[in-house]
Amino acid sequence: MGRKPFKAKPAPIEMRREPTADWMQTNGTYIQGESALAEVDKVAREVEAKWGVDRVRLLVGEELRTKFDNQRFKLNAAIRGGDLEDVREQSERMRKAWRAADRAATAAGAQRVTPDVWEVAGDDGVVFAIVRTTEEAHALVGDGRLREVWTLAEVARALQSFKTPVGDLKRLFPGARVVGIREARDPLLLMPDDIGGLDDTIPF
């Protein structure tokens, strides 16, 4: 009697959220719900690239800010416990809320985030970009270039945790420039053990 042919089970979809709400119960509704939420994420990234992360709601009037936050609450509630239509409806309203806040900030003459960037390439070719604030860092990351983005505060914390003689020297000699770091090595450790005696006579 022959064996039954083996049938591979389809790989389960990797869910970003715990499957508790109605819209998460089947692959089909989950994919459609995630697609609606992806549109919200896209609009949010566009607006935050212009105004900074979590900043646009602070650039508009109190009434609009309250409506914006209420809509955020409704969308989160739909994600946690709604069905597919709830997620679609609240996603559409959230996209409109982002656009409304964007228009209001523009009309109010709010200052956009314009990163002041310093870039330097490391010895291994990695590009480091240094900006002043977290808002500038988020705006910079959104342009899609491959690089490491650091804020001044992050650089300061890194330097404080990286205690080396170089830091001591730079404090002792302001304006000193680091061109390279070489480890001081004991020349005797580089010599073979059977090299024999040396013919120098050293008076001590």
Convert the pLDDT of each residue in 120-159 to its tens digit. 888 887 888 888 877 777 776 666 667 788 888 888 887 7
Q: For residues 96 and 175, which has the higher predicted lDDT (pLDDT)?
A: 96
What mean pLDDT is predicted for residues 61-70? 96
Structure tokens at 112: 């956009």
Structure tokens at 12: 């389960």
Domain boundaries, the chain: 22-107, 118-175
Backbone φ, ψ for residue 79 (5° rounding) = -65, -40
Q: 67 pLDDT exceeds 70?
A: yes
What lies within 8 Å, CB to CB, of 114 at 6+ separation is 139
d(CA 137, CA 129): 9
181 and 159 in contact (C-beta within 8 Å)? no
37 and 90 in contact (C-beta within 8 Å)? no
DSSP 2: P
What mean pLDDT is predicted for residues 36-52? 91
Q: What is the pLDDT of residues 154-199, one digit of tens each?
A: 888 877 776 666 566 555 566 555 555 555 555 555 656 555 555 5
What's the pLDDT at 74?
95
What's the pLDDT at 99?
97
Among 74, 81, 91, 77, CA closest to 34 = 91
Q: 10 pLDDT exceeds 60?
A: no
